[in-house]
Structure 1
Amino acid sequence: MIDDTTATPPSTLSNDERTWALLGHLSAFSAFFTAGFGCVLGPLVVWLVKRDSLPFAADQAREALNFNLTALIVWIALWIVTIGTFGIGIFLTLPLGLALLGVWIVLTIVAAISANNGQTYRYPLTLRLIK
């Protein structure tokens, strides 16, 4: 989903800015190496490093950070339901968790491609916790 009201024209973006925006999204995949919390740490680092110097990259890293915080909150809620039902809830939470994983991977890749093309991407159903 592209929000044309805040999109920066691709012709005005440098390769460096588009690359950092791409990294802001793809850095979430560090979750596979950091017990899941890298999905927040990667975009957070990119946002903190580039928020003053590259506005498009900072915007996309913040968007990735918000999306990954939302996904992490849902993932933790699924674990709480599983534990709270003494494991019986896994019949519901496992399929939901796998669906969340699939949606997370697909949306992260779509966002990275959009950012690399110089287009602003907004994740659907995302809590905007970081403004």
Structure 2
Amino acid sequence: MPSNDERLLAAGIYVISFFTNFIGPLIIWLLKKDDSSFIDYHGKEYLNFLISYTIYSIVSSILMLVLIGFVLIWVVGVLAFVFTIIGAVKAYEGNEYRIPFVFRILK
């Protein structure tokens, strides 16, 4: 069971992403990944999530040429928002959460 500090920092990775999309979570992960496997897991999960959903956003933007992208970009945005909140809650509860539709690039 992760400590309260580990849970708070892991949840912080997700929460701070609303204010600093990339830099905040990266800093937390880089500073604490060697101290806690729990924080390391959530840091990698968030960064994989960010990479995957950035790719989905780019593809949706390209698909705007054939109009379906206008719907897909909203779907991607809503899913990113919802999965970030779920990730923060699960991390704070001390659970590992695998975000759906994510390419696991960082292992």
- How many Å separate the matches in 2 of 1:119 and 1:29? 21
- Measure the CA separation in 2 of the matches of 1:99 and 1:59: 26
Segments of structure 2 that go 5 or more residues without pairing to the other structure are none
CA distance, structure 1, for counterparts of residue 17 and residue 48 of structure 2: 11
Quote the residue 1:130 is aligned against: 106
**2:5 is the counterpart of 1:29:** no
Ranges in structure 1 where 5+ consecutive residues have no aligned partner: 1-11, 32-37
Matches within 5 A, 1:1-131: 12-30=1-19, 38=21, 40-82=22-64, 85=65, 89=66, 91-131=67-107
The CA deviation string for residues 27-80 of structure 1, in whole angstroms up to 9 with x for no partner, is 22125xxxxxx2x33322221111111220121111011011100111122223
Aligned CA RMSD, in angstroms, stands at 1.5
Matched residues, percent identical?
A: 32
Task: State the Cα distance separating 1:22 from its structure 2 match.
Answer: 0.1
- Tell me the TM-score normalised to structure 1 length: 0.74
AA paired with 1:23? G
TM-score by length of 2: 0.89
Q: Which runs of 4+ in 1 moved over 4 A?
A: none
